[in-house]
Structure 1
Amino acid sequence: MSKINLLQEIIDTSNNIVFFGGAGVSTESGIPDFRSENGIFESLRKYGDTPENLVSHSYYLDHTEEFFNYYKDNLVFDEAMPNPAHTALAKLEKAGKLRAVITQNIDGLHQKAGSKNVMELHGSIHRNYCQICGKQYGLNHILESDGIPRCECGGVVKPDVVLYEEPLNNTIMNFSIDYISRAETLIIGGTSLVVYPAAGLINYFNGKNLVLINKSETPYDNLASLVINDAIGEVFSQIKI
């Protein structure tokens, strides 16, 4: 039996699936992984620093305008559209098979594809808030601002995105742990499972089928029921739902 057929069988016979995804889920929608080798090279060439530093809490505080320049150029792709992975997961949820999508991505493409129950571990570019009065703003306010986005009260409007040096949202983490610990099937895609604490979520899985879909190997391949080394959108385009 081919790996695609085996994945099809796992999905067909599972009614409590949870999906956990990383940057590789969105690269097929034209959103580059800013931590890739090319992303690091470009950030050093253009901004003189590494991506991790440029999107850190310290850099945000000390170089706020430069932070927003980098952020808008490298982390915001508002015209990107969902790919077959996003649309397949939304269909699985609608069919009652998928309980939750847990994502490290901040692009909102799962929601754009129709997914309802999305745990955004690292936040979202579509939510922004004033750091003084708390007023909420959409993405357009960030994109249309010159320099530092400001609230009408004068405060800085910060993206609701988890920066380096900032903790993940405890509520989102706890919900994610609960979904994974109860899942019959956990499908992990588009992540090398090396960025913690998110990568540690796999340790809470106690179910039957662990499926890993990633172009490269991960440290957990030996624990998986099924490993597919391919682009996740390409894989899901072959699955019938």
Structure 2
Amino acid sequence: MDGRLRKLVEASEAIVFFGGAGVSCESGIPDFRSTDGLYHQEYRWPPEEILSHDFFERRPEEFFRFYRDKMLYPQAEPNAAHLALARLEQAGKLKAVVTQNIDGLHQAAGSKNVLELHGSVHRNHCTRCGAFYTLDDVLRSEGVPRCGCGGVIKPDVVLYGEALDETTLNAAVRAIRRADLLLVGGTSLNVYPAAGLLRYFTGAALAVVNKTPTPADARADLVIQASIGRVLGGFED
């Protein structure tokens, strides 16, 4: 772990981690807004349109073609950042992971208190009867996945035009308010309302670890422009 960050961690008793797509890049999951990211690739429709509630309703076949091709990475495994955060939680230092990611890698690494602002690909429900389906169920299906009742199975991911889950959002606000160290990593902080959660932090120190500058850098106590996995890697209890 970076020496400057280690000092902040050692001085803290209630750390909250706020992360985004950059956390999972080292697990082979591409981000969205970098030069090679998803939003810079060419499709018949812009990714922002495909990943909208309206598009899901109007063109479910095209939605699921894109979703399976570009949003699902079942082979991905936790990287050094995920594992370090899980160890921090086990050590009693880290109280919550607030993530914009939908891949479930924090839980796979061993983290328990994970607040998924944008949902998870591992949870899927029938839009008609509410029956639960796993990621494997969706992967085994073809075309538009359907429930036994005939309803369309929708991933529990927040699409453009949909509100964040209020229970998860409120839990994230409470965690950030109680934190003495807020560690922000692997996120451009350009996605709202998620990025707006930082305004609830009033603790002792704000640390930002990201490959590129973020809007929070000016108010941060520590800014490290590097990959979150490299910075957190090597942490030991």
If the TM-score is normalised by the length of the shorter chain, which range does it land in? over 0.9
1:136 to 125, 132, 146: 132
The question of whether the paired residues in 1 share the 8 Å contact of 2:27 and 2:76 is answered with yes
2:162 to 160, 166, 173: 166
Q: Are 1:67 and 2:63 counterparts?
A: yes
1:154 to 146, 150, 157: 150
Distance (Å, rounded) in 2 between the aligned partners of 1:41 and 1:125: 22
The unaligned stretches of length 5 or more in structure 2 are none
Q: Which residue matches 2:27?
A: 29
Q: Are 1:211 and 2:210 counterparts?
A: no
Deviations, residues 147-175 of structure 1 (Å, cap 9, x unaligned): 00000111100000000110000110100
Q: Which residue matches 1:14?
A: 12
The question of whether the paired residues in 2 share the 8 Å contact of 1:34 and 1:75 is answered with no
Q: How far is 1:41 from its partner?
A: 3.7
Q: How far is 1:4 from its partner?
A: 1.8
Q: How far is 1:238 from its partner?
A: 4.0
- Across the aligned residues of Structure 1 and Structure 2, the Cα RMSD in angstroms comes to 1.1
The unaligned stretches of length 5 or more in structure 1 are none
Equivalent residue runs for 1:1-241 within 5 Å: 4-38=2-36, 39-42=38-41, 44=42, 47-241=43-237
TM-score, normalisation: structure 2:
0.97
The question of whether the paired residues in 2 share the 8 Å contact of 1:15 and 1:97 is answered with yes
Aligned length: 236
Q: How far is 1:40 from its partner?
A: 2.6
Q: How far is 1:223 from its partner?
A: 0.4
Distance (Å, rounded) in 1 between the aligned partners of 2:139 and 2:150: 17
The question of whether the paired residues in 2 share the 8 Å contact of 1:4 and 1:238 is answered with no
Distance (Å, rounded) in 2 between the aligned partners of 1:154 and 1:37: 41
TM-score, normalisation: structure 1:
0.95
Give the counterpart letter for 1:119 in structure 2.
L
The question of whether the paired residues in 2 share the 8 Å contact of 1:25 and 1:232 is answered with yes
